[in-house]
Structures are given as C-alpha cells and as structure tokens.
Chain A
Amino acid sequence: MTAPRTLYDKIWDDHVVHQSEDGTCLLYIDRHLVHEVTSPQAFEGLRMAGRKVRAPEKTIAVPDHNVPTTWDREKGIDNEESRIQVDALDKNARDFGINYYPVSDIRQGIVHIVGPEQGWTLPGMTVVCGDSHTATHGAFGSLAHGIGTSEVEHVLATQTLIQKKSKNMKVEITGKLRPGVTAKDITLSVIGKTGTAGGTGYVIEYCGEAIRDLSMEGRMTVCNMAIEGGARAGLIAPDEKTFEYVKGRPHAPKGAAWEAALAYWKTLFTDEGAHFDKVVTIRGEDIAPVVTWGTSPEDVLPITDVVPAPESFAGGKVEAARRSIDYMGLTPGMKLTDIKVDAVFIGSCTNGRIEDLRAAAEVLKGKKLAPGVRGMVVPGSGLVRLQAEEEGLADIFKEAGFEWRLAGCSMCLGMNPDQLAPGERCAATSNRNFEGRMGRGGRTHLMSPVMAAAAAITGHLTDVREVLAETV
C-alpha cells in the first residue's frame, strides 16, 4: 500500500521526469504562459543558442503588463519602450509558433485571467509563467507558480524545470464567512496571520468549508496571493464547481477525452492521513473585512481597527513599520476608517474577474463617487469586459463616475500610464502595497472589491457592512 499523499504530492509525482540522488528533480511543465515583460530576454537566449520552443502548443502568450487600457489604444502605444516590448512579443509568438492573443483580440487580458477563461488551465497540471501571480491557477488544483526569465527560457527550450520539492502546508478556513467578507479578506487575513515569509519553502493547500463555498473566481483570488504569503504555490482540490467552470471552455477536453480527464481529476485530493509539515486554521466566522495600512501585504487589519504603533512589533519589523507609516502618511492610533482616499482602483489578476465586478457594482448601484475621488475599473480580460457590459455593470460604474477601461494589468503595477501621483492614496483591489508600486510616492491600501466600492462612495476607508446596512 502506498503512503497517503497530499494533492501537491500527487501532482508532483505525476510530473517528475528525472530525480537525482540529492532530490533535485526535472519536472515536466504542462502549460507555459508568457507575457511581454519577462520573456524578451528568454526568446533572445533561444535565438542566440539556435534553440526552438520545445512544445509551442503548450505555450500561450498574451501582452498585459504594458498595454494601455484607454479606448484609443488601437492607435498604438505612445511609450517607445513599452511598444518595443509588445512588438517583441508579437514577433516572438509568430517566429516560434506559440498560441497568441494580441492586443487587438477580444480575448486579450491579464494572462492569469485569460488562461482559465480559455480552458488552458486544467486540474492536475503544472503551470508556470514569468510572473509571481501564476499561483492563481492553483484554484483548479493545478501546481502553478512564478518563475524568472532564465527559467522561462529553460521551459521554452526543454518544457521542464529543475526543482526541489517544497514542503506541504495546509491552510484550513472552517465554517462560514460573515456578510461583507470575501475571498480577498480570507487571503489577506491568512497573510496577516502567517506573515509575508510564513509560506516560504511551502506549497499551500487551502481547504475547509469556507474555501469549498467559494466560487472559482473567489478561489482564484485566494490562490493568487499565496505568493504574497511567501509560498511557492497555493492550490485547492478540484470539485464539481471546478469541473463545471472548465466544461465547454475552448481548450478544455471534449467527449471521450472529457470523461477520461474527469476520472483522473476526481483522484486529485489529499488522502486521509497525509502529512502536512505546517497547519494553519482560521475560523471563517472570525474573518472581518480587512484593509492594509502599510507597505507590505502582511500589514493587514480589520477595518474597525486603528493604525498600529511601530513599537507594538518586534525585531526588524519595528523599523519597517515606522518606515511604512511614514511613507503612507499616517499616524499611529488613527482609525482606519478616517483614512481619506484620492483614488479607487478595481481590477488586476487578483480581483478583475466578472464576480468581482458584480460585487463592486452591487455596492455602487445608484451611488456616486465621493467628490474629488477618481475611480477606475479595469476588467481582467476583453471577455470579462463584454460580459460586464452585457450585464449592465459597466453602466453602474460609469453612472457612479468611474472610468470604464479596456483589459490589462494597469494601475496594479503602473507600467502603463495608469499610475498614482506622488502622495496620492488609493483603495485598490490589487495585490501589492509596496512603496511606489502604483506610481512613485503613491500609497496603496489593499482590500476587496466591495470594500473598494464602499471607499469610493464615502471618500475614506469604510466598513462595507455599514454601507450595506444603509442600503437595506
């Protein structure tokens, strides 16, 4: 009898090409997603060595980081360097014969939204991309993680990665979430509890009733930020919701292949008694709507709390907290709900899916942006945008005073013109609140789409439960 295995163990075992005596493995990669920022040097490396892409049919490219999200973008990209990068991806996709969704394609969008949407991401796969938020795809019960450009080149050339196995960590969210609490609050609360290095060396499996209750969109939000907790990957065992989401997508298996796939996918769960090296359990009922106050995703507090005093931390975090609070222009002890915002950003690979837009629109319906606050909604893909327009969500955002944009990474990392000005403060549904992330000197507070919508209405960080209570 074989020893009980975790979901991660099973996917790992099914992808080992070769294992050396010291435990170093050559791991087979089923899907390689590519974008314009971390790939040019990799393709250049292939050219210089006279190498081909080993499995172009398993390689999918889409420009997302640099692309303008304004409605006039068909006229081209003004910034020369950005244009060169996107042009390079066009050329590389053509020259090497890989699957490609150019800016002009309605299916274009953020790579981590396009992959699942088109059915490229399937349970039990290994998925990599030169982007840390590749963890998103773990929501399907696939082993998905970010890699650097040298590894992008390695995967292009060999369809494998040299890896050592990580340890297993279980994060269980028990029970039910309270009203106003979302997948984003789960994932931020986990990071708040474990810290940004708490997952280093681990692959996390998220489980428990509150995780099972999430939609696929919500599960993607949770896994997306596994990297912010330091983990190599985050994953969730596939279930009927997963299969339902995948079924019928353009690149999902059909007919007999579907049945065979389904039979395999149903074996993808952690066996009873399998060993986890670390276990974290949080009661769903204990999770509140949260926001970040500092410049690390671990700087998480319930919205009802106050800006902490740096002295309340230990070790190197004291100085880091002091620096964060200074950068963020806050005062220890002030109520989080007293923090005024200048901008609201709804979008990103964390929260740019249709369910996110529905949730934010529900809060914003019939409401207006607070005076002086600018708002921007950037759908995660062209297809998300179309669906939101058909459902009338775009009209709600526009009537509230938001700009309604085309798909891309946008302000989440500010590589295109969508940026904060120095000192500007933003309620954002994205994933990183690092110094300068959304623009030099810009200040980012991370939160869920409904919390961002609530802040948009009041002009300050707000407990969405109060806005919801008023609406009833």
Chain B
Amino acid sequence: MDKFTTITGVAAPMPLVNVDTDMIIPKQFLKTIKRTGLGVNLFDEMRYDQQGNEIPDFVLNQPAYREAQILVAGDNFGCGSSREHAPWALLDFGIRCVIAPSFADIFFNNCFKNGILPIVLPQDQVDVLMADAKKGANARMTVDLEAQTVTTSDGQSFGFEVDPFKKHCLLNGLDDIGLTLEQVSAIDAFEAKASAQRPWV
C-alpha cells in the first residue's frame, strides 16, 4: 500500500448524496481477478454514453478535473455493496482522498486498506470545499494527514478527525495482515480458550 502523507491537487466537485458503489464501479467490471486497471471505468455509466463516448458534462471528463486527486461529495458516499473495486477504481484513476459529510461503513474501511483517505467534515465545511473545488484546475487543495487539515486554494483550513491506528497505517503504508500476525500467540490462545468454551463452533 502506498503511504499517504500530504497531497496537493485538484479537487473534483460531486455534489450528490448517496453516491453508491454501483455508480462508482458498475457490476460488469467486478469480473476482474486483479486490483488494477479499473480507473478507466470509474463512474462508468455516468461518465460514458451507451456507445462508450465520454459525456462532456460529467465532472471527471471536464478538462479542469481530469487529473483530480481529491473528490468532494455529498452525504453517505460509497453506500451499497462491499466491493473493494470501488476504492480500487478511485485509486487507479488517481483519487487519493474523498471528502464528504458522511460515508458508508464498508466503503470507508476499504479506503484505508488502499491508501485512500476518506475525510468526514460537517456539511457547512464541505460546502466551502465544494465551492472551492468548483473553481477548477487552478484551485488546488492541500490535505495534510499528519496535521489532520484540509486547506483550500485561498488558504482556509479545516481540521478533521481520523482514527489514530488507521492514521498510523496510512502514514506508514502498513499492511494490516503483517501487523496482526505479530499477535499470532494471542490468536492461538483465544482459539484454545474458545474451543473449550464453545466446542461446537
């Protein structure tokens, strides 16, 4: 997993609530057995018409946002299925950070496993960032994970909360499995105790 420390980049505005994982990556692209290559199909049915031509109005097709690294969105972003293809597609496109008033639980967790930082901010602050994002390619936001701040192109800064363990893993690009396996003796001990107490499991 790539580390996440600080990024400065273009933020794309997507002022929609309930952006679901079927929108982010439609099911026909879940047939892959790889994690990469999904960026071209990110938001596929919003981004391309049925003939596969780009829909010019869609935000990521606009010249200002084709290189966006940050997405600013509405409530309950990432709702729906558990498909990790959603953060894989965002990452493959180049999005490293999504900012919204709220996220769906599974999507939120999946982001951290892939070096993407989901940031929850109150609606009024998201509104400010959304307005900043709408200014286009010259308005570059800065996200600093160490300091836990988002700063707009004109210098307005907002602090955000992040789980300390998740922050530590993102800052250092750590693999969860490796960390958990350091506790293998605790897992062994738990299994021994549980199989005595609940042998039917």
**Chain A: residues with CB nearer than 8 A to chain B?**
14, 17-18, 20, 22, 24, 26, 28, 30, 37-38, 40-41, 44, 49, 51, 54, 58, 65-66, 79, 81-82, 84-85, 88, 122, 124-125, 130-132, 134, 145-151, 153-154, 157-160, 162, 164, 196-197, 200-201, 227, 230-232, 253, 257-258, 260-261, 264, 296, 298, 315-317, 319-320, 323, 413-415, 422, 432, 434-437, 440-441
A28 contacts B82, C-beta separation under 8 Å: no
Interface flags, B22-34, vs A, CB<8A=1, else 0: 1100111011111
B94 CB-CB contact with A under 8 Å: no
Interface flags, B7-49, vs A, CB<8A=1, else 0: 0000000011110101100111011111100000000010000
* Chain B positions 106-122 with a Cβ under 8 Å from a chain A Cβ: 106, 109-110, 113-114
Shortest distance in angstroms between A89's beta carbon and chain B's nearest beta carbon?
A: 10
B180 CB-CB contact with A under 8 Å: yes
Among B22, B32, B80, B113, the residue within 8 A (CB) of A150 is B113
Give the residues in chain B near A437, CB-CB below 8 Å.
22, 27
Give the residues in chain B near A26, CB-CB below 8 Å.
180, 183, 186-187
B199 contacts A158, C-beta separation under 8 Å: no
Give the residues in chain B near A422, CB-CB below 8 Å.
50
Q: A148-B113, A257-B199 are in contact. Are A196 and B187 (CB under 8 A)?
A: no
Further 19 A-B residue pairs, CB within 8 A, beyond A200-B103, A415-B31: A14-B194, A17-B183, A18-B186, A22-B163, A26-B186, A38-B84, A44-B33, A85-B33, A88-B33, A134-B82, A150-B84, A151-B113, A154-B177, A158-B184, A197-B76, A415-B28, A422-B50, A436-B22, A440-B45
B83 contacts A38, C-beta separation under 8 Å: yes
Give the residues in chain A near B83, CB-CB below 8 Å.
37-38, 148
Instruction: Please report the C-alpha to C-alpha distance between residue A146 and residue B80 in the assembled complex, in whole angstroms.
Output: 11
Interface flags, B168-179, vs A, CB<8A=1, else 0: 000000001101
Shortest distance in angstroms between B127's beta carbon and chain A's nearest beta carbon?
A: 10
B187 contacts A154, C-beta separation under 8 Å: no
Closest residue of B by beta carbon distance from A313: B17
Give the residues in chain A near B45, CB-CB below 8 Å.
435-436, 440
Among A79, A146, A414, the residue within 8 A (CB) of B82 is A146
Shortest distance in angstroms between B15's beta carbon and chain A's nearest beta carbon?
A: 7
A-B pairs under 8 A by CB, number: 192
A200 contacts B28, C-beta separation under 8 Å: no
Instruction: Please report the C-alpha to C-alpha distance between residue A134 and residue B105 in the assembled complex, in whole angstroms.
Output: 14
Instruction: Please report the C-alpha to C-alpha distance between residue A389 and residue B120 in the assembled complex, in whole angstroms.
Output: 51
Instruction: Please report the C-alpha to C-alpha distance between residue A301 and residue B80 in the assembled complex, in whole angstroms.
Output: 20
Complex A-B, nearest 7 residue pairs according to Cβ-Cβ distance, in ascending order: A253-B200, A81-B31, A150-B113, A148-B110, A148-B84, A40-B33, A316-B17
B102 contacts A150, C-beta separation under 8 Å: no
Shortest distance in angstroms between A241's beta carbon and chain B's nearest beta carbon?
A: 19
Instruction: Please report the C-alpha to C-alpha distance between residue A329 and residue B23 in the assembled complex, in whole angstroms.
Output: 18
A41 contacts B104, C-beta separation under 8 Å: no
A157 contacts B106, C-beta separation under 8 Å: no
Give the residues in chain A near B97, CB-CB below 8 Å.
none
Shortest distance in angstroms between A351's beta carbon and chain B's nearest beta carbon?
A: 18
* Chain B positions 177-201 with a Cβ under 8 Å from a chain A Cβ: 177, 179-181, 183-184, 186-187, 190-191, 194, 198-201
A28 contacts B194, C-beta separation under 8 Å: yes
B16 contacts A434, C-beta separation under 8 Å: no
B76 contacts A164, C-beta separation under 8 Å: no
Instruction: Please report the C-alpha to C-alpha distance between residue A432 and residue B23 in the assembled complex, in whole angstroms.
Output: 12
Instruction: Please report the C-alpha to C-alpha distance between residue A153 and residue B175 in the assembled complex, in whole angstroms.
Output: 11
Instruction: Please report the C-alpha to C-alpha distance between residue A38 and residue B114 in the assembled complex, in whole angstroms.
Output: 15
A432 contacts B183, C-beta separation under 8 Å: no
Instruction: Please report the C-alpha to C-alpha distance between residue A241 and residue B23 in the assembled complex, in whole angstroms.
Output: 39
Closest residue of A by beta carbon distance from B194: A28
Among A30, A201, A316, the residue within 8 A (CB) of B16 is A316
Give the residues in chain B near A201, CB-CB below 8 Å.
105
Give the residues in chain A near B179, CB-CB below 8 Å.
162
Among B79, B84, B110, B201, the residue within 8 A (CB) of A230 is B79
Instruction: Please report the C-alpha to C-alpha distance between residue A99 and residue B66 in the assembled complex, in whole angstroms.
Output: 45
Q: A131-B82, A415-B31 are in contact. Are A196 and B22 (CB under 8 A)?
A: no
A157 contacts B181, C-beta separation under 8 Å: yes
Instruction: Please report the C-alpha to C-alpha distance between residue A37 and residue B181 in the assembled complex, in whole angstroms.
Output: 26
Shortest distance in angstroms between A48's beta carbon and chain B's nearest beta carbon?
A: 11
Among B35, B76, B164, B186, the residue within 8 A (CB) of A17 is B186
Give the residues in chain A near B109, CB-CB below 8 Å.
147-148, 151
Give the residues in chain A near B201, CB-CB below 8 Å.
30, 58, 122, 125
